[in-house]
Amino acid sequence: MPASKRDQLLATAERLFYEQGFHATGIDLIVAAAGVVRMTLYNHFASKEALVAAVLSARHERFMASLDAAAASASPGEVTPALVNAHGHWLERYSQHGCIMVKAMGEFAEHSTEIHALAAAAKSDLLARLEAAVVRDGLDHHAGLARHLFMVLEGSNTTVALLGPQTALADTRAVVDALLAAARSETP
C-alpha cells in the first residue's frame, strides 16, 4: 500500500533535516523531494515548525518502541543490556551521523522553545527507560547508575559519527559492561 502524502512528507523531511539540518532545509526542497506541491504540505502541517515537531515526534515514537520491545523481551537481569543493544542497533541503522534530537536542541535553543523542549523531553524519556531497566535488573541500589549509563549512550550518539559504528558501539558496550559489573559487585 502506498504511503499517504503526510507519511511521505514526514519521511522526506526527516531524511533531509537529518542530512542537511533543520534551518538549512527549506520547504521548497522538502516538497520537491517528496513529489508534492507546497499546498499539500500546508494541508498537513500548519508551518515548518509544525513539520519539525511531527518529524521529531514520529522518530521518537519509533525509537521508544524499539527500546520498549527490547525491554519487554528481556529477562530480569538482562533488561539494561537489552536496552543498550537496542540503542546500538538504532545508531547503526538510523543515526550514524549523530542524534537528530541533539541536532534539534542545538538548532532550536534560541529559535523555538517548543521544539527544544520536545527534543529535551525525548532525552528524558531515554533516561526514564534506563532507570526502569536498572530497577527491573535489581541494580537500583547503585546510586546514579542509570544516569551514568545515559551519559555513555549519549556519548555514543556523538562518537558513532567520528569513530564509526563498530568502534563506537564496541567501546560503548565495554563501558556499559564495566558499569554493570561494578554495580552487580556492590552489596545492596
Go through the domains of the chain in sequence order and give each one's CATH number.
1-45 (1.10.10.60), 53-185 (1.10.357.10)
Percentage of residues in the chain having pLDDT higher than 70: 98
CA separation for the pair 55, 44 (Å, rounded): 12
- pLDDT-derived band at 135 (thresholds 50, 70, 90) equals very high
Rounded CA-CA distance 130/41 in Å is: 37
> How does residue 141 score in pLDDT terms, banded at 50, 70 and 90?
confident
CA dihedral 63, 65, 71, 73 (to 10 degrees): -130
pLDDT-derived band at 172, boundaries 50, 70, 90: very high
Q: Check residue 173 and give its pLDDT.
A: 96
Q: What angle do CA 110, 120, 5 make, to 5 degrees?
A: 85
At 94 the pLDDT is 92
Instruction: Give the mean pLDDT of 115-121.
Output: 97
pLDDT at 2: 56
pLDDT per residue as tens digits for the range 72-90: 999 989 999 999 999 999 9
- Report d(CA 35, CA 33) in Å as an integer: 5
The percent of residues in the chain predicted with pLDDT above 90, rounded, is 92
pLDDT beyond 70 at 118:
yes
Q: How confident is the model at residue 187 (pLDDT cuts 50, 70, 90)?
A: low
CB atoms within 10 A of CB 4: 10
- Separation CA 64–CA 24 (nearest Å): 27
Check pLDDT > 70 for residue 1.
Answer: no
Helix (H, G, I), strand (E, B) or coil at 80: helix
- Quote the pLDDT of residue 18: 96
pLDDT over threshold 70, residue 188: no
The answer to whether the CB of 102 falls within 8 A of the CB of 111 is no
Question: What's the mean per-residue pLDDT of the chain?
Answer: 95
pLDDT digit string (tens) for 33-72? 999 999 999 999 999 999 999 999 999 999 999 999 999 9
pLDDT tens digit string along 142-170?
A: 889 999 999 999 999 999 999 999 999 99
